[in-house]
Amino acid sequence: MSVSNDSPTLLLAAEAYSALGYAVIPLLGDRSPDRPKAPALPWNDYRKHKPRPDELRRWFMEEDFQGIGLVTGRISGLVVLDFDNADLFNEFRVQYPELAEQQVIQTRRGFHIYFQLPGHLSLASRTGQGVDLLSEGRYVVARPTTIAGFTYRLIRGGQPRRLTPRDIARIQHFLDQRRNRYADPVSQPAVVRQPAPVPLSPADLQALYQYHLRQGRGRNEALFLTALTARDHDCSKEYTIHALADLHTNTPAVNSAHQSERQRHNEALHTVASAFSRPARPPRYTPKPLPTQLPARAREALYALKLTCVIRVIEGLREKGIPPGQSFTRNTAINLLSGLVGRFSIDKALHARTPSGKPFFEAVSPPSTPHRCAASSHIHPDHQKCFIGRVSKPGKSYFVYQPRHYQMPTNTTLCHLLGTPHSLCDPLGMDDLSSAKKTRLAAHRAFLQRRPGQYPRRWLAARLGISACTTRRYDRALGVHVKTMFHEQTVTWATLNRVPDFRLDGTFLQDENGKRYPALRDLAARLLNSGHSLTYCRQDANFYSLDPPQVVTLQVIAREQVWRNRQRQIEARIALEQGRAGELPARPTPTAVLPRASVPSPEAWAEPDQPQQPHSQNLDRNGYGISLRRFRQPLPDAAQEALAQHVYSTLNSRSGDTNHHISQANARRCVEAYGAQAVQKALALLLSRRNVLQPVAFFLTILRSVKTP
């Protein structure tokens, strides 16, 4: 029969747990039916220090919290195996009876097994299929907490078992079995699963030994420090000797050149034994798990070599359970990667080599297994028996095909072969390995998620080993936001020489109204002479991001500002035409945006005492606002048409550069917009000048300044 949570009972239990050295935190319990196991307060600080007695009394007596939680890991020296059902617990008890016969707590769905974690060991938490390993960064619900009418109770007493490295290996092996049991059924082919490798490989130990030598330390000191590191990372003495003895023997001493090879080997054995004569030091921090995927820099090097198949095979086999350093066969790779990577890509990856000729997958000797050849060699040639049918001669050996075994390379080996440093690992899913295009798309997406910014498109293309055109298709497929960036510089008479005198791609001039012009020095001088404020814009590298950049909002604001400036110019022109120069509208504030419907129609721009021409009802004062298509036909008035032809012939005859000629349509528009009298005055002034380099520009400037009657 279950009992409800009682504050004095919970307080006594919390004080007892605190006396045992456990870090206690309060839980909500039945006060929150939706989240009964949730902590009642932020508990991250209690991963570093344990609560005080007054805090325990306040939690369970004054604030009346309804549950007790124990922080697992090194702070409490506690590790808990959490089974979700009784079947898993019974399976573990049958397989490892000595580990299950410890302190066991019954929960609502399963059981908890408590273990004691020594101070010199560190164990990371793991989540499995129906069983969880609660260690660093986790907590467990402790008895006598009551949740939904069920009270956590003790069904087997005793002190928690003190874990050893062998016990930890067996627990992790059980968790691996649970994971492999619910893995993809494609992994059914017989794959010999070796024990999980130690955190430090022989290559890592050898690199650390060489590092100590480069720092100026002696051979014995470098070997001793490396052996201490191996000991602290749970490497055995035999493993360390196998990794470092030959390297130390082949490294000659500086001051003891007379030593023989046997003496240097014995010296290595004694140095490693001296390092392992003392217990391992407790780690200062919990080591992070080694990355199971390839570094980003190694992937980029393989993309540049057009070896995307190597990335797909390595990532796929590692996800299917083949760790670095383990051997496998071609048939094993084909069976594991069936439906993901084709046979052609697998064969190409297994036979791929670096530019220097070294293979990525090194061929290793197969494990020694008895076969028919070895058995037949023990038959004596004189031994005779009577057989019915055709039989082979006794003692004759036959060739038995042995499949070639390849070794899964480590990240350190790949970086050494490709000449790239270690870097971050961008995550790749199994779906991203189904084709080479999806693999490159995933790499492009992960890079822009991690580092959005300005990049040349050719650099992005070279990073993936594709063309710039292909990167545009990738951007459209991923929905990448590409923002065109410009380097802006104000153009004045002092900086006019910085504007090129020839057309250059990606450059333009922009005035105060946002209108763009070709980036030419002569044109910039004319615009400055006309009173415009110019900005020289040169296109820079684009900005790439998967999220909409904030500069888009600035662009919208700039566009609205240009619209407001044009709106004010129109209203000022209307006021001048109506003789209300003193009633010019004030410059609108950025927040006061006039609606577009308030802009008056072009009919209101004309003078009220002049009759409107039917064909010029859409023209403004300067003759703009209508397409030049209408002026391709002769003007209805013969006198105006003759004057337009005179303007056309006079200006083009005086202009030697064909790029600065005036067209007949523009000549007709000038005559109709400004009138015959203004055009004749401008022509007379032009003819009175001799040294005019650009007659068309001079004519238009004078024409705009002449007042019409």
Statement: residue 135 has pLDDT above 50: yes
Contacts of 385 (CB under 8 A, 6+ apart): none
Contacts of 496 (CB under 8 A, 6+ apart): 521, 524, 525, 528
Statement: residue 564 has pLDDT above 80: no
Q: Which of 43-47, 288-292, 548-552, 566-570 has the highest mean pLDDT?
A: 43-47
Statement: residue 607 has pLDDT above 70: no
Average pLDDT of the chain?
Answer: 77
Statement: residue 183 has pLDDT above 60: no
Q: Which of 91-100, 302-311, 361-370, 684-693 has the highest mean pLDDT?
A: 302-311
Q: Residues 304-329: what's their mean pLDDT?
A: 89
Kindly report the number of other CB atoms within 10 A of residue 414's CB atom.
23
Statement: residue 371 has pLDDT above 80: no
Spatial separation of the C-alpha atoms in residues 363 and 546, rounded to whole Å: 42
Statement: residue 190 has pLDDT above 80: no
Q: Residues 185-198: what's their mean pLDDT?
A: 40
Which pLDDT does position 593 carry in this prediction? 36
Among 47-51, 123-127, 364-368, 403-407, the range scoring the smallest mean pLDDT is 364-368
Spatial separation of the C-alpha atoms in residues 566 and 573, rounded to whole Å: 11
DSSP 252: -
> pLDDT band for position 347 (50/70/90)?
very high
- Burial class from Cβ neighbours inside 10 Å (0-12, 13-18, 19+) for residue 141 reads buried
pLDDT per residue as tens digits for the range 283-299: 554 444 556 788 888 88
The fraction of the chain above a pLDDT of 90, given in percent, is 6
Spatial separation of the C-alpha atoms in residues 205 and 231, rounded to whole Å: 11
pLDDT per residue as tens digits for the range 576-598: 655 544 444 444 443 333 333 33
Which pLDDT does position 658 carry in this prediction? 64
pLDDT per residue as tens digits for the range 376-430: 444 444 444 444 545 455 555 444 556 788 988 988 888 888 888 877 788 888 8
Which pLDDT does position 191 carry in this prediction? 39
Statement: residue 109 has pLDDT above 50: yes
pLDDT per residue as tens digits for the range 34-91: 778 888 888 887 887 888 888 888 888 888 788 899 999 888 889 999 988 888 888 8
Contacts of 543 (CB under 8 A, 6+ apart): 452, 453, 454, 482, 483, 485, 549, 551
Can you give the length of the chain in residues? 709
Which pLDDT does position 595 carry in this prediction? 37
Question: Which of 278, 153, 271, 173 lies closest to 223 in space, CA to CA?
Answer: 271
What are the Cα distances from residue 681, in Å, to 55, 228, 273, 300, 648? Answer: 98, 99, 109, 70, 15
Q: Where are the domains of the chain?
A: 7-181, 202-275, 486-539, 552-600, 616-705
- Burial class from Cβ neighbours inside 10 Å (0-12, 13-18, 19+) for residue 221 reads middle
pLDDT per residue as tens digits for the range 673-692: 888 888 888 888 888 887 78
CA 205 from centroid of its chain's CA atoms: 30
Q: Residues 109-131: what's their mean pLDDT?
A: 83
Statement: residue 600 has pLDDT above 80: no
SS3 call for 154: strand
> pLDDT band for position 572 (50/70/90)?
low
Statement: residue 373 has pLDDT above 80: no
Spatial separation of the C-alpha atoms in residues 224 and 222, rounded to whole Å: 5
Which pLDDT does position 148 carry in this prediction? 80
- Evaluate whether 31 touches 39 at the Cβ level (below 8 Å): no
CATH of 7-181 given 1.10.4100, 3.30.2250, 1.10.443, 1.10.3470: 3.30.2250
Q: Residues 155-180: what's their mean pLDDT?
A: 80
Q: Which residue has the tokens 């080996």?
A: 413
Tokens of residue 307, six digits: 């070896």
Which pLDDT does position 652 carry in this prediction? 83
Which pLDDT does position 617 carry in this prediction? 38
What does the longest C-alpha to C-alpha distance in the chain come to?
136
